[in-house]
Amino acid sequence: MDEKRTCAEASTAWRHQHSPVLALGVWIALCLGCPQEGAAGEGDVDEPDAPLLPDSPRGPGDPLACDPGAKTLHRLNRSEYARTVADLLGPAAGAAAAVHAAAFPADDVAGGFDNNADVLSTSPLLVEKLDAAALAIAAAVFPDGAAATIDRQEAEAVGSDVGTAAGSVWNLFSNGDLTASFTIATTGRYAVRVRADQEAAGDDDAHLGIVVDGRSVLDVDVTGLATYEVETELTAGAHSIGARFDNDFFDAGTDADRNLLVDFLEVEGPLDVASTSPGRARFVSCNPSSEVEGCARASLTPLLRRAFRRPVLDEEVTPYVALVVLATGAGDSFDAGLRLATQAMLLSPNFLYRAEFDDDGDQTHRISTHELAARLSYFLWASMPDETLTLKADDGVLDRPAVLEAEVTRMLADPKARGGVAEALAAQWLNTRGLDVVAPDADLYPLSDDVRAALKQETKLVVQALLDSDRPAPDLLDVDFTFVNAPLAAFYGLPFDAGDDDDGDGFVRVSLAGTNRAGVLTHGAFLTANSYPFRTSPVKRGRWVVDQLLCLDPGDVPPDVPPLNEDPASGSVRERMEAHRSEPRCAACHVLMDPIGFGLESFDPIGRSRTQDADGYDIDDDDVFFDTPFTNPAGLAAALKAQETLPSCMAEKLGSYTLGRGLDVAVAGDACTIDDVTARAAAAGFSLRAILGAIVESDAFQMRTPTRSLE
């Protein structure tokens, strides 16, 4: 999309909500900060020329080189946005970003992945949401100072379904709570108070419990009229504060009656207001009272450099410095100015888009080392480059084969890879996200939230285990172990020993020997996501395998095909489907998909093992796939691993995610890339790690064809 239009939309949305003077400043920061060829490209900074890979078999001008294709301007998707904000600005900002990113319009998906630059559009609604997010995130980093306030609510005005008003107090004459709602403006430590007295009776004093959000924070005996206080942490937002009476006493013979008399409930705070914002300590090392403009430039230059993922020019920093000067000149604090500059930075296309700049010519060329660093970090971590990777880019050595290989190894070993590439391959390629949108029949196939979450984690941990090992990638289909926590082990009927939990995440690795499970096709996540609410779907299960693992096209459903007979009296699901595919128009597609689905019929619609279906029919999981007969899920896995399209399909799918664009075998350059990656990975053992490494080595990852004008 047009970068200038993005600027205009963002600044227009900002102006609708803020004062004209400050809106003008933000507009300057946004629109003078838009990426422009030649204005902020890396050719304008002192950096060594990026050399060709000295031992690469291919390079620009080599007739054997694969055409890398043109890369569309790449917007950060929702996940990348939240992770980048957290890495750039810290945990508090990351938490705010995660909340707001969840409310962004859903990212479009192409080829199964939501990081495809070609479909990551920018709508006016998204610009509006980005503006709200920038405002909240900047406030989390540089919040307003907040003076402690007191909010008191009189008990007789609050009332309760227990007791009655008695003058200026509320008489809790039976066990129960008197609860009031309070709204907290700023997260922090607060004093919670209840003023109370008792009507004494019996041997004990009346008992008062102070309750915050249903949790008891203080228990005390009331001996007379007094104010009882406790300090507790409260987050910004709505909270319930209550006084609880729980030792009622009444003597019918003497009419002695113990009651709790509540005068008021009160909250005071925050008690620990800081004199400066947390962002000041993190990003400001100078004294703004001596020289505002110089301190603002010194603080913002490194921040903008990290946010834009490349060196920045002085003239790019100037509009953001001007916002700080504008705020302080209007009587606001230095922190308020930095908050405004941070908001503008988060709305800048330089932050929201991973812009890559073309050379002056129209020839295919190697991308800069900073662009390479961004491609690498968003591929492996779904976030911005860290300091180590950035320094390699600064030194101009990142594109050297040994350096690049070492960085890939380091980054895959980092825990961030678990939330990056491992998460993406499990959630998107292997579609554990599908669990979020399926709803199995709750009576027939109950699936608890704990098990649903564990199913997603199981696939992710298996992917991570294969990334950490040298096992061939096709072993995903028959890997002989899995990971379970206590709920998932009970669901599967597998052993579980909490003492084997080495990582403290509640999951343990267990062997699948002696079971009918092996590989991701027997994971409950895959089986459930590809079933109907009331029965399995051999077609859906088979089609997913054909599409995502073999890259074969079974074709579209022909028009006017009668639906499947759903009457169980007519036979098992398999028998009814075999009758259905006797229709000549259906046979060509179903003969490709159905055998795969039949081979997985020993798992019910939520992935539990079974020997009979819900209608009492015995399971038959034998079939023939491409002239290869098989028996049970293990035989199906072996038949699939023997398919010659499996390696190239894996290279295509992983390549599409890595490059952030679809790979199309009908396009010569893409077909060349897929063949190149497949061959390189095969030479290195064809593990998942080898495939990813081969993609990073490819022309498509390290080079680009200039974007040509449509004019």
208 falls in which pLDDT band (50, 70, 90)? very high
pLDDT tens digit string along 432-487?
Answer: 999 999 999 999 999 999 999 999 999 999 999 999 988 999 999 999 999 999 99
419 within a domain of the structure (yes/no): no
In this predicted structure, which of 64-78, 504-518, 624-638 has the lowest mean pLDDT? 64-78
Which has more pLDDT, 192 or 582? 192
Query: 625 has which bridge partners?
Result: 628
Residues 66 and 25 in one domain: yes
390 within a domain of the structure (yes/no): no
- Could you give the CA distance from residue 430 to residue 549 in angstroms, rounded to a whole number? 9
Q: What is the CATH number of the domain that holds 188?
A: 2.60.120.260
Last residue of a domain, one of 222, 251, 269: 269
> Residue 15 pLDDT > 90, yes or no?
no
Residues whose CB falls within 8 Å of the CB of residue 69, separated by 6 or more in sequence, listed in order = 661, 667, 669, 670, 700, 704, 705
Q: How far is CA 173 from CA 168, 203, 246, in A?
A: 15, 17, 10
10 falls in which pLDDT band (50, 70, 90)? very low
The angle at the Cα of 488, spanning 487 to 493, to the nearest 5 degrees, equals 105
393 within a domain of the structure (yes/no): no
Residues 487 and 599 in one domain: yes
pLDDT at 6: 39
Mean pLDDT of the chain: 86
Last residue of a domain, one of 600, 616, 641: 641
By CB atoms closer than 10 A (0-12, 13-18, 19+), residue 10 is buried
Q: How many domains does the chain have?
A: 4
pLDDT at 593: 86
Residues 121 and 253 in one domain: no
> Residue 3 pLDDT > 60, yes or no?
no
In this predicted structure, which of 12-16, 156-160, 355-359 has the lowest mean pLDDT? 12-16
pLDDT tens digit string along 383-404?
Answer: 999 999 999 999 999 999 999 9
Which has more pLDDT, 246 or 291? 246
Q: How far is CA 655 from CA 74, 151, 421, 423, 659, in A?
A: 16, 58, 12, 16, 6
Residues 600 and 482 in one domain: yes
406 within a domain of the structure (yes/no): no
pLDDT tens digit string along 217-244?
Answer: 999 999 999 999 999 999 989 999 999 9
DSSP secondary structure string, 300-332? HHHHHHHHHTS---HHHHHHHHHHHHHHHHTT-
55 falls in which pLDDT band (50, 70, 90)? very low
Residues 455 and 583 in one domain: yes
In this predicted structure, which of 36-45, 98-107, 576-585 has the lowest mean pLDDT? 36-45
614 falls in which pLDDT band (50, 70, 90)? confident
> Residue 205 pLDDT > 50, yes or no?
yes
pLDDT at 50: 34
pTM of the model: 0.73
pLDDT at 27: 43
The residue-averaged pLDDT of 612-616 equals: 89
* Through-space distance between the first and last CA atoms of the chain, rounded to whole angstroms: 14
pLDDT at 466: 95
pLDDT at 357: 82
Residues 430 and 542 in one domain: yes
572 falls in which pLDDT band (50, 70, 90)? confident
- Could you give the CA distance from residue 284 to residue 275 in angstroms, rounded to a whole number? 14
- Could you give the CA distance from residue 639 to residue 502 in angstroms, rounded to a whole number? 35
39 falls in which pLDDT band (50, 70, 90)? very low
What are the backbone dihedrals phi and psi of residue 660, each rounded to the nearest 5 degrees, phi first? 70, 25
pLDDT at 2: 39
Residues 107 and 70 in one domain: yes
Last residue of a domain, one of 228, 249, 269: 269
**Residue 54: both structure tokens together:** 């000295």
373 within a domain of the structure (yes/no): no
pLDDT tens digit string along 134-144?
Answer: 999 999 999 87
pLDDT at 163: 95
517 within a domain of the structure (yes/no): yes
pLDDT at 278: 77
Residues 550 and 623 in one domain: yes
> Residue 149 pLDDT > 80, yes or no?
no
258 within a domain of the structure (yes/no): yes
pLDDT at 633: 95
48 falls in which pLDDT band (50, 70, 90)? very low
Residues 498 and 566 in one domain: yes
pLDDT at 365: 85
346 within a domain of the structure (yes/no): yes
Residues 439 and 585 in one domain: yes
Residues 201 and 116 in one domain: no
- Could you give the CA distance from residue 154 to residue 28 in angstroms, rounded to a whole number? 51
Q: Which domain holds residue 496?
A: 425-641
pLDDT at 37: 38
pLDDT at 248: 95
Residue whose structure tokens are 């696939």: 459
pLDDT at 240: 97
Residues 607 and 660 in one domain: no
C-beta neighbour count of 419 within 10 angstroms: 16
Max intra-chain CA distance, the chain? 107
Task: Tell me which range, 52-56, 146-150, 262-266, is most confidently predicted by mean pLDDT.
Answer: 262-266
574 falls in which pLDDT band (50, 70, 90)? confident
